[in-house]
Amino acid sequence: MSVMRSVVLGCGSYLPGQVVTNAELARRIDTSDEWIVQRTGIHERHIAAEGEFTSHLAIKAAQAALDHAGVEAGSIDLIVLATATPDNTFPATSVMVQAGLGITGGAAFDLHAVCSGFVFGLASADNFLRGGAFKRALVIGAETFSRILDWNDRTTCVLFGDGAGAVVLEAQEQPGTTADRGILTSHLRSDGRHKSKLYVDGGPSSTQTVGHLRMEGREVFKHAVAMITDVIEDAFAATGTSASDITWFVPHQANKRIIDASANKLGIPPEKVVITVDRHGNTSAASIPLALTAAVADGRIKRGDLILLEAMGGGFTWGSALLRW
């Protein structure tokens, strides 16, 4: 029996021009390239220029995805923008992206699930597309975490970077098997009891300030691998697939040690894991579409490949998605 699937038509990304290396950070705070590389796998990150906002990065990534997909901006009737670093408290950054792309129809909204935002956005758009509410969607992850970092806190500021990535999804009829193109399954979870382990200490309703990111790194690490592998097992169970069926594992890029431990626990060999955390740092909701775009651009990800995505972040929130490119 045929079913509707959300098929990826194209992807794109944008990274700000300024690259900050670990050595440069070590000149400003008490850290070292060796410590950062050993604990995180990060060598450098991109930082947005003064006056360059999340919406600006998102518009560039979205335009690149539209170009890659070969579709006009005007054909998009849904924009889901995942971000924890919006330009303003309101309106949603997605409507600025909509206007920036010259789109005047359909709907655009922001989605807030921090580092899991892109997976949550993908799952949300997938539900709208499969339900018939919209035909063609842009799902964007865009962040300027540099704006919410405490640059004197060496335990957090070395970990993050800025950037944006996007995919174009289209509702298409498919035969209804795991050989279908498109999103085959997605699984989302949250548990607010973990709020204090990773949060921003400000906000419009509480402090009337933007605040800074605070994290108990060890606590996050402790939970990350179990949560990630749990929700991936759900994806395997829902589709009757296993780790050996995966062509590419494209995880949220928080930390190379978390990625390695998750892949190892699942039995996914390192040569199937897409890594960009070394060059991008943790770009939160942007990290998965940035990694996808990198692996498509260098020819690794090809049509028909089975792609496994996962993310975990503040809240905690976590989720997985399995899709055929």
Decide: is 282 part of the binding site for ligand ACO (CB under 6 A).
Answer: yes
Distance of alpha carbon 204 from its chain centroid, rounded?
24
Write phi, then psi, for 101 (nearest 5 degrees).
-90, -5
Residue with tokens 């906000």: 203
Residue of 22, 46, 56, 115 with catalytic role:
115
Candidate ranges 125-133, 155-163, 180-188, 200-208; the one touching ligand ACO (CB under 6 A): 155-163
The site map against ligand ACO for 88-127 (x = CB under 6 A) is ---------------------------x------------
Write phi, then psi, for 94 (nearest 5 degrees).
-60, -35
Decide: is 217 part of the binding site for ligand ACO (CB under 6 A).
Answer: yes
Decide: is 147 part of the binding site for ligand ACO (CB under 6 A).
Answer: no
Q: How far apart are the first and last CA of the chain?
A: 21
| 220-239: contacts with ligand ACO (CB under 6 A) | 220-221, 224
Task: Count CB neighbours of 124 within 10 A.
Answer: 20
Residue of 194, 212, 252, 280 with catalytic role:
252
Cα–Cα–Cα angle for 205, 209, 213, nearest 5°? Answer: 100
Q: Is 157 a catalytic residue?
A: no
Among 19, 37, 39, 261, binds ligand ACO (CB under 6 A): 39
| Cβ 197 vs Cβ 215: under 8 Å | yes
Q: Cα–Cα distances in Å, from 270 out to 28, 56, 96, 199?
A: 34, 34, 39, 31
Residue with tokens 């408290």: 89
- Give the residue with the Cβ less far from ligand ACO, 115 or 263: 115
174: β partners: 3
Decide: is 290 part of the binding site for ligand ACO (CB under 6 A).
Answer: no
Beta-sheet pairing, 198-200 with 213-215: antiparallel
Q: How far is the CB of 284 from ligand ACO (least distance, A)?
A: 7
Decide: is 129 part of the binding site for ligand ACO (CB under 6 A).
Answer: no
Decide: is 158 part of the binding site for ligand ACO (CB under 6 A).
Answer: yes
Q: Is 282 a catalytic residue?
A: yes
Catalytic residues: 115, 252, 282
Residues that bind ligand ACO (CB under 6 A): 31, 35-36, 39-40, 115, 154-155, 158-159, 198, 215, 217-218, 220-221, 224, 252, 254-255, 282, 312-313
